[in-house]
Amino acid sequence: MYRIDKAVILRQKAEAKVSSEKIVQILEDDILGGTLRPGEKLDEQSLANRFSVSRTPVREAIRQLAANGLIEIRRNMGATVRQLTAGEVVDMFMVLAELEGLAARLCARRMTMAEIDEAKARNDDCLRAAETGDQVAFLEANNAFHDVLLRGTRSAYLATEAARLGRRLAAYRRVITHPRQMMSSHAEHQRIIAAISQGEEDVAQAAMRTHVDVIAGSAADIVLALEANAAPLSATR
Amino acid sequence: MYRIDKAVILRQKAEAKVSSEKIVQILEDDILGGTLRPGEKLDEQSLANRFSVSRTPVREAIRQLAANGLIEIRRNMGATVRQLTAGEVVDMFMVLAELEGLAARLCARRMTMAEIDEAKARNDDCLRAAETGDQVAFLEANNAFHDVLLRGTRSAYLATEAARLGRRLAAYRRVITHPRQMMSSHAEHQRIIAAISQGEEDVAQAAMRTHVDVIAGSAADIVLALEANAAPLSATR
DNA sequence: ATTTCAGTTTGTGTATACAATAATGGAAAT
DNA sequence: ATTTCCATTATTGTATACACAAACTGAAAT
């Protein structure tokens, strides 16, 4: 009688052995990048095999991701990638708009000329990407632009929180697909930079808030459409 | 030759055996309540003894608290309660002001009459506490007031995040000690409620923002004074 | 055919054991 | 007396083992 070696069955890619800290990073990237789809189950043993470690560090990574709201743990029933409703996405964008708005205000107060030039450069990158219709390049340049502003706040806490929420919503920001939208984003960026360089806090804050709200609106439409369609992503297992 | 039983030495109160989820709660309360002081080291084995469990669930609790920013983990060097600088406290209050401001705006848009009455009642509690100079009662009523507003937003995400940050800063809000400050807080609350019940979003948001900023100002003074004094709390081990 | 229930199996929760790394303390050298 | 270095100790990081709860399966009963 032959006993089947379970380890062989479960083993997949089996990345090189990796520390617990990296596991958090990798899983987070997988979730935010869409490799792990909403509703998907995270099996501790499979992940342990994949990373060539025991379940212990995997468990710790899972708990940490749960604390950050990316996954949901139900006692004795495992962890699943969290599925956001359209309403939640809208709520989160509202908060993001507020945080980024505050950031813009602080930038108007504290940014150096060098930093403002840096922001302009990143927005020029946005323009180039928009002109060639390169969505990936645009999103990258867009992220870089926002990062420059967050650094310009001189508030590590605000920068960290806003960046975290921004990353969390990154998937929903991919709604920007048409060159037209990229162009108008670029224009909004320019208005924000102008206000910052003039030190007009109120204007900078308002401009940033509406900029984020515009994106939120498109994102909400997409998510609502997805929800209306048959079974959501959770059925894709 | 006598071997000393280490377990006996390490054992302290030894609370009844408690699940891993509760451990997070208890440790969080200890940190925010001041039982565990900033800079203090968290020894896994001691905590395991205290909760009558093994190190495993304690470790998971620690990782979770670290994800929430309450403690700091340095690889192979254990976990310590995080010590905030005055600058960080100010930054966090700025974000809190923004979040609560947004909450007030949403309340003006969405709150029912019943909820507004509830908020008024909680603010009346604040007034009573202020008149008798009861600081503990005031802080409690104050928390209740803010909670009502957070519920009134209809945004679970905003409510959760604002509440979390508020809890995190609770220790620094104890700067409100003089009945005079309590009275002015009460008055600010009233202005906020008035704006909400009139549906004046902008006014409500602005009023709430300045309300939080006032507290932030006092808190910053205290923290700065503490930092100026000799060695900070981290030396208290 | 459908439902119910027990046996099995899978997977999580916790405990214990072992490995690796940083803190500690004391001896030797200056 | 002070400093440097090494050995010891303590504590964290990871692996393994066991306990227990939830899910799955299939047969029996209606």
- Domains, chain B, in order of start with CATH, read 6-81 (1.10.10.10), 86-236 (1.20.120.530)
| B232 CA → C18 C1’, Å | 39
CA distance B206 to chain A (A): 13
Q: What is the pLDDT of residue A69?
A: 93
User: Does B3 have pLDDT greater than 80?
Assistant: no
Q: Is the CB of A195 under 7 A from strand D?
A: no
Q: Does B99 touch chain A (CB under 8 A)?
A: yes
Sign of the Cα pseudo-torsion (B41, B45, B50, B55, in order)? positive
Q: What is the pLDDT of residue B160?
A: 97
How confident is residue B13, by pLDDT bands cut at 50, 70 and 90?
Answer: low
Q: What is the pLDDT of residue A224?
A: 87
| B76 CA → D13 C1’, Å | 7
Among A59, A94, A161, beta carbon nearest to B102 = A94
Q: What is the pLDDT of residue B225?
A: 84
How confident is residue B231, by pLDDT bands cut at 50, 70 and 90?
Answer: very low
Cβ of A91 within 8 Å of Cβ of B64? The answer is no
Q: Which of B122-131, B177-186, B222-231 has the highest mean pLDDT?
A: B122-131
Q: In whole angstroms, how far apart are CA A97 and each of A92, A104, A185, A206, A234?
A: 9, 10, 14, 10, 28
Structure tokens that stand for B19 in this block: 């699940």
Q: Does B94 touch chain A (CB under 8 A)?
A: yes
| CA of B55: nucleotide with nearest C1' | C15
Q: Is the CB of B229 under 7 A from strand D?
A: no
Average pLDDT over residues B178-201: 96
Average pLDDT over residues B147-170: 97
Cβ of B95 within 8 Å of Cβ of A60? The answer is no
Closest residue in B to A101 (Cα–Cα) = B98
Average pLDDT over residues B120-125: 98
Query: A-B interface: how many C-beta pairs under 8 angstroms?
Result: 58
User: Does B138 have pLDDT greater than 50?
Assistant: yes
Q: Give chain B positions within 8 Å (CB) of A88.
A: 156-157
Mean pLDDT split into 10-residue runs, chain A, 237 residues: 39 72 95 93 97 97 94 96 94 98 98 98 97 95 98 98 95 86 96 98 98 93 78 39
